[in-house]
């Protein structure tokens, strides 16, 4: 049976490190990390995400600011707000909650955030730094960054020479995850919907990252004996056993089957999910440390 990697426990450990480093930064330099979260419209899921991020920022001792804009807000008004946040020395991280209303161009908004405050790691500057191995000054997107910590907690920091297969090629998870694994000296293959004989390819993986967005697509017999499996997927499927119209959350991996062959695996929920907000806090702290000329803590 596989070891279950407890993402909630690891995330709590990361947050505790952030809290301690935040208190030290204030004591030593008089600097309080500042996070500004911007939400446009009233999408219920986005409201929940933003609320949880703002709450966690306050728990970490951050200066936390939330800007809630009406759904009909003009693009230039949003860009003007981002310009003001870029210029505000009390703000070290800026997060614009996606998706945005259809009349606003998401790419333009994301690229308007100053790279040194882009704690989501989506700007072209940070993407380029990650792709060229400039890790010391890059911001890495929170989900792959958190996945990497879970992987290192399961296998140790030395991943040199291991075969890694990333199933999924999104800009948010798949591509940055592949770059992180390359930086860790893994041999990396990116797979996707057009990959030939995907099951056979997955069976070559010492490290398997599932980020394809298809519920329970990766079966137990696709997994190499003893492999470490990081399941990034969050999918809702019908759960008639719970009652009419009820659903449950599953990952991209058939968890029960994978438990029989994997060496270690993240569950869904309580796996990668909690790490995403924890890494947002860590990235904001890192930005504040850089602005103060202080070395950020190693997580």
What are the tens digits of pLDDT across the range 204-247? 999 999 999 999 999 999 999 999 999 999 999 988 888 888 89
Q: Is the pLDDT of residue 46 over 90?
A: no
Spatial separation of the C-alpha atoms in residues 171 and 173, rounded to whole Å: 6
Length of the chain counted residue by residue: 299
Range with lowest mean pLDDT among 23-37, 42-56, 82-96, 256-270: 42-56
The catalytic residues are 53, 97, 120
Q: Is 208 strand, coil or helix?
A: strand
For the chain, the domains span 29-114, 142-273
Q: Is 232 strand, coil or helix?
A: coil
Q: Model-level pTM greater than 0.75?
A: yes
Average pLDDT (182-202) is 96
**Answer CATH for 29-114 from 3.30.70.20, 3.40.50.10860, 1.10.3080.10, 3.50.30.40:** 3.40.50.10860
pLDDT for res 250:
95
Pairing of strands 207-210, 228-231: parallel
pLDDT for res 245:
83
**Answer CATH for 142-273 from 3.40.50.720, 1.25.40.10, 3.30.1490.70, 3.30.365.10:** 3.40.50.720
pLDDT for res 163:
98
pLDDT for res 97:
94
pLDDT for res 197:
97
pLDDT tens column, 153-178: 999 999 999 999 999 999 999 999 99
Q: Which of 242, 183, 188, 250 is nearest to 217 (CA)?
A: 250
Cα within 13 Å of Cα(24), Cβ side = 13
Q: Is the pLDDT of residue 88 over 90?
A: yes
């Amino acid at each position: 049976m596989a070891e279950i990697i407890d993402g909630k426990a690891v995330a709590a450990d990361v947050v505790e490190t952030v809290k301690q480093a935040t208190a030290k930064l204030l004591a030593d330099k008089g600097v309080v990390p500042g996070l500004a979260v911007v939400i446009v419209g009233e999408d219920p899921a986005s409201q929940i995400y933003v609320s949880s991020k703002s709450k966690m920022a306050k728990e970490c001792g951050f200066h936390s600011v939330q800007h809630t804009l009406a759904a009909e807000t003009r693009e230039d008004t949003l860009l003007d707000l981002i310009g003001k946040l870029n210029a505000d020395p009390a703000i070290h991280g800026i997060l614009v909650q996606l998706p945005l209303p259809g009349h606003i161009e998401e790419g333009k908004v994301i690229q308007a955030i100053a790279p040194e405050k882009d704690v989501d790691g989506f700007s072209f500057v940070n993407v380029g730094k990650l792709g060229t191995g400039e890790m010391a000054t890059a911001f890495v997107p929170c989900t792959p960054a958190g996945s990497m910590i879970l992987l290192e907690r399961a296998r140790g920091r030395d991943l040199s020479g291991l075969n890694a297969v990333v199933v999924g090629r999104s800009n948010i998870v798949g591509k940055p995850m592949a770059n992180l694994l390359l930086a860790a000296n893994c041999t990396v293959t990116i797979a996707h919907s057009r990959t030939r004989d995907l099951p056979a390819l997955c069976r070559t993986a010492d490290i398997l990252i599932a980020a394809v967005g298809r519920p329970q697509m990766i079966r137990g017999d696709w997994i190499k004996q003893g492999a470490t499996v990081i399941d990034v997927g969050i999918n809702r499927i019908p759960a008639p056993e719970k009652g009419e119209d009820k659903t449950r959350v599953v990952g991209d991996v058939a968890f029960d089957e994978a438990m029989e062959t994997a060496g270690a695996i993240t569950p869904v929920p309580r796996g990668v999910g909690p790490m995403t907000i924890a890494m947002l806090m860590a990235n904001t702290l890192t930005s504040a440390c850089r602005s103060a000329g202080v070395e950020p803590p190693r997580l």
